[in-house]
Amino acid sequence: MIHRLQFRLLLAFILVILVVTGTILVFVVRNTGSELQQFDRRAEQNRATGLGFLLTRYYALIGSWEGIQLLVEQIGVSEEEHIVVTDADGILVANSRGSSLGKQYHTTAEGTPLFTPRFLPRGGTPLAPPQGKKIGTLYINPESKPTLTRHLAETINRFLLWGGLIAVVIALLLTFVLSRRILAPVRALTATARKLGEGDLSQRVQSQDKGELGELAQTFNAMASELERSEKLRRNLVADTAHEIRTPLSNIRGYLEAILDGVVSPDEATISSLNEEVALLSRLVEDLQELALAEAKELKLVIQPEDISAIINQSVVSMQGQAASKDITLKAELPERLPLCAIDAGRIGQVLRNLLTNAVTHTTSGGAVTITATPSGNQVEVSVTDTGDGIPAEELANIFERFYRVDRSRSRRTGGSGLGLTIARRLVEAHGGRITAESQPGKGSRFTFAVPVTATLITS
Ligand code: ADP
């Protein structure tokens, strides 16, 4: 539960909400408190001035503080204030609570004050007619009655507290709903990944999201497609391989059964046929192994600066016998100098031998096979051109596919596994190059591949 993303999101949101509402509460409570205190202070001062004015008028009318106690008592009760009035000498002449009359009144350390005013000066408000002598002092304390502002402050605080609580609850509900929505694509992804893991590779995630989660879903789908594609390739490879192996095997079996039945005699010709079938099988197995390595990108290429002219000449020499036996002119036409190439000499030699074997195989006697090499940008382009039977345009696109043969029966006779060009393409691609074929049926074909020159090896 603690590790669930939704729970963590919820926790994070709660924290943010609490911090925000807490901060607002503290600010509002503090600021309204001080504002309302200001208001209280001003109200008390106004009250003191007003009452002072009334008392001064009374004194002016009566000529003394005679009878003031009654008035002060009444005002004190009706206004819920504690009011104290002294004469000019500080003798208490009125106290709304009735006690200590006639005594010296102290508000300072010299005596015990009846009260300490909250906001008004401790020394009280002096009472004096305009431009006249001081006639006394007024002390008011509204402490006993809860002021309007205090009531207001309490109400505001209560509202804020409830408002904050309601906001927290609403925010929590919203977070819960939203986090469910946010996490829905993640759940979908998990469910799809699980099904993929169980082997159903056709599963894809549906996502309308345009943000990061959408991107994740897209990448995930691309990965699933790639998985499905390679799984299909693997199945095809197994099926194709079984198919390819079946023919030579059934041939061998047919021969052996015929020998056992005494239909065919185990003479040299029969054994030679059997040997051919076995050779075909072992070549197929070797090619398959090579292709499997190349497709898994596990070929260990020893790439170093190589003189491609030397590799070409070497392959021409090794094929010369085969070409001569068919009365085919095999030659290399190379420029005087070619840049060093960043290649694995053994592998590129293999590609060349492959192309040359194909060219010689598909060229009738009296024909020619020529190898040329030309620098092109930071690559060297090598072409193998023959004057053979060519490849029909509609087949050209397929000849690099695994086990693809233009003429199945003929190719089998010549011992081709249908993997030669596939391997050649993988080898060239492993060097960062490309291989292409062009052909004119009846006139001949040209296979061209490009390999990088050394400078690219250094800079790349
Ligand atoms: P294989 O081992 O059968 O030669 P490849 O992969 O080398 O298989 O070639 C695939 C097919 O492409 C061959 O069966 C052949 O029909 C055709 N092909 C390859 N090279 C040539 C060529 N130089 N001229 C005509 N056809 C060719």
Residue 410 has pLDDT above 70, yes or no: no
Task: Note the pLDDT of residue 253.
Answer: 93
pLDDT tens column, 41-68: 888 888 889 999 999 999 999 989 999 9
Pocket test for ligand 1, best of 421, 423, 426, 428 (most atoms within 8 A of CB): 421
Q: Which atom of ligand 1 has the smallest separation from the CA of 421?
A: 6
Residue 223 has pLDDT above 70, yes or no: yes
Q: Which atom of ligand 1 has the smallest separation from the CA of 404?
A: 10
How many Å lie between the centroid of ligand 1 and the Cα of residue 433?
Answer: 20
Residue 230: pLDDT band by 50, 70, 90 thresholds? confident
How many Å lie between the centroid of ligand 1 and the Cα of residue 376?
Answer: 26
Task: Note the pLDDT of residue 120.
Answer: 64
Q: Whose CA is nearest to atom 16 of ligand 1?
A: 406
Q: What percent of the chain has pLDDT over 90?
A: 37
How many Å lie between the centroid of ligand 1 and the Cα of residue 358?
Answer: 6
Which residues, judged by CB distance below 6 Å to any ligand atom, belong to the binding site of ligand 1? 358-359, 362, 386, 388-391, 399, 404-407, 411, 416-422, 445
Residue 98: pLDDT band by 50, 70, 90 thresholds? confident
Task: Note the pLDDT of residue 147.
Answer: 64
Residue 5 has pLDDT above 80, yes or no: no
Pocket test for ligand 1, best of 405, 425, 428 (most atoms within 8 A of CB): 405
Q: What is the 3-state secondary structure (H, E, C) of the chain?
A: CCCCHHHHHHHHHHHHHHHHHHHHHHHHHHHHHHHHHHHHHHHHHHHHHHHHHHHHHHHHHHCCCCCHHHHHHHHHHHHCCEEEEEECCCEEEEECCCCCCCCECCCCCCCCCCCCCCCCCCCCEEECCCCCCCCEEEEEEHHHCCCHHHHHHHHHHHHHHHHHHHHHHHHHHHHHHHHHHHHHHHHHHHHHHHHHHCCCCCCCCCCCCCCHHHHHHHHHHHHHHHHHHHHHHHHHHHHHHHHHHHHHHHHHHHHHHHHHCCCCCCCHHHHHHHHHHHHHHHHHHHHHHHHHHHHCCCCCCCCEEECHHHHHHHHHHHHHHHHHHCCCEEEEECCCCCCCEEECHHHHHHHHHHHHHHHHHCCCCCCEEEEEEEEECCEEEEEEEECCCCCCHHHHCCCCCCCCCCCHHHHHHCCCCCCHHHHHHHHHHHCCCEEEEEEECCCEEEEEEEEEEHHHHHHC
How many Å lie between the centroid of ligand 1 and the Cα of residue 325?
Answer: 20
Task: Note the pLDDT of residue 25.
Answer: 79
Q: Record the pTM.
A: 0.56
Q: Whose CA is nearest to atom 20 of ligand 1?
A: 358
